[in-house]
Amino acid sequence: MYRDLRERCPVAWTNAHDGYWVLSTQEHASALLRDHEHFVSGRHQDEDGRWHGGDSIPDPQLPPYLLLENDPPIWGFYRRLLNPWLAPAKVAARQARLEELSTRLLDEVIERGSFDLILDYANPIPGVMTLDLVGQHVEDWQRWAEPHHAAIYTEPGSEEYMEAVAGILWQREQLIEAMRERRGEPGDDLLTALATARTDDGEPLGLEEAVGILMTIIGGGVDTTTATTANGLLYLQRHPEARAWLLEDLDDRLPQACEEILRYFPPVLGVARTVAADVDFADQKFAAGERVLASVTSANRDRRVFEDPDAVRLDRVNNRHLSFGAGIHRCVGSHAARAMLHTMVGDVLRRLPDYTIDEDKAVRYGPNSVVDGWISVPVHFTPGRRLGASSWSSWRAMNLRPATF
């Protein structure tokens, strides 16, 4: 469908969700995401309390995820607060913890020859690492991660969706209380940094603003990397020749391969914007207030940019995909996401090289989802040996095994 749109109708209109534009080429999608003057990310609330706008369609009925769903000039202030915490040096300093957690989780399952890739591994790693960065108790990762998963894969307005929304609102309350505590007892975490931050006028950053920023980090951190990891490992099962090629020189080939996995399996399928004022764009007139979706999935398959775009080439060079977005809202957590993706894919291949996924029992997100994710992915493999307990003491006594949802 997207191939047809790219060639025949690269700027298309759909009546779904009250109507919106769909941009399918990389040229148009990239230009839209870089034009924050005419296409805005912010959300607003009407007199009935409903939220409108933001970076996804349909409009999420939750308070805005700040930094992600706001615009300049305040965007620049928020970004400056976050950049030091997600910079390459900070991510590299946390790599040892990431590797220890991966070892611990695989140690718990490696002797039995089976596990659930999502529930036992690819969910807890982003959940724990994100909560550790924020400064919340990592043993509670399920209560923080699962509502964000469910809000994406359940039908908007359903009972399950509303339960997920309630869970996310609970998180906001917990974060406000935690920031109040940090103002009296500061720590070395993102919670403290935001709780004690000052605006350019010297005033304390508002608690609601700080929570909006933290919810962006939590919501983005606990779900997207899980999805890409699962899709990448599923592809490698379906293509044993690709798995064998990667295993021949895993350390050198893994980074390039992961970029191709990101291109082919972008975790977020599309990014929305709202037209700020009437504008001519891509030979089309866009009216103020209209919604526009830049299809990342389609842009990443554009033959004008990628040779043989519908094939996975793990050794692809100059891989200019849009999986982390573009422009001012390019993913602030991209370095952390890459680190987790490399670690999870690499450790599964090293320690479970003959893994097989039971696709008949795997459960993926529903068709309404904006994330190409999985709820459950059962895996079988030849049992191996443990490598030893983690040296990070706070994890040794912690039960990382998830409950059944």
Q: Could you give all domains of the chain from N- to C-terminal order, each with its CATH number?
A: 1-64+269-317 (3.30.43.20), 68-267+323-405 (1.10.630.10)
Burial of 200 (0-12, 13-18, 19+ CB in 10 A): exposed
**pLDDT at position 115:** 97
Q: What is the dihedral of CA 354, 266, 129, 388, to 10 degrees?
A: 10
Q: Going by DSSP bridges, is the β-strand pair 291-295/20-23 parallel, antiparallel, or unpaired?
A: parallel
**pLDDT at position 314:** 97
Residues 6+ apart with CB under 8 A from 9: none
**pLDDT at position 156:** 78
* 3-state class (DSSP) for residue 315: coil
Each residue's pLDDT tens digit, 259-289: 999 999 998 999 999 999 999 999 999 999 9
Each residue's pLDDT tens digit, 88-101: 999 999 999 999 99
Residue 273's H or E segment, with its range, is: strand 270-275
Q: Which residues of the chain have pLDDT under 70?
A: 368-369, 389-405
Instruction: Give DSSP secondary structure letters for 335-352.
Output: HHHHHHHHHHHHHHHHH-
Q: Please name the residue that has the structure tokens 């994330």.
A: 371
Each residue's pLDDT tens digit, 331-358: 999 999 999 999 999 999 999 999 999 9
Residue 97's region, left for phi above 0, alpha for psi from -120 to 50, else beta, is alpha
Output the pTM of the full model: 0.92
Burial of 287 (0-12, 13-18, 19+ CB in 10 A): exposed
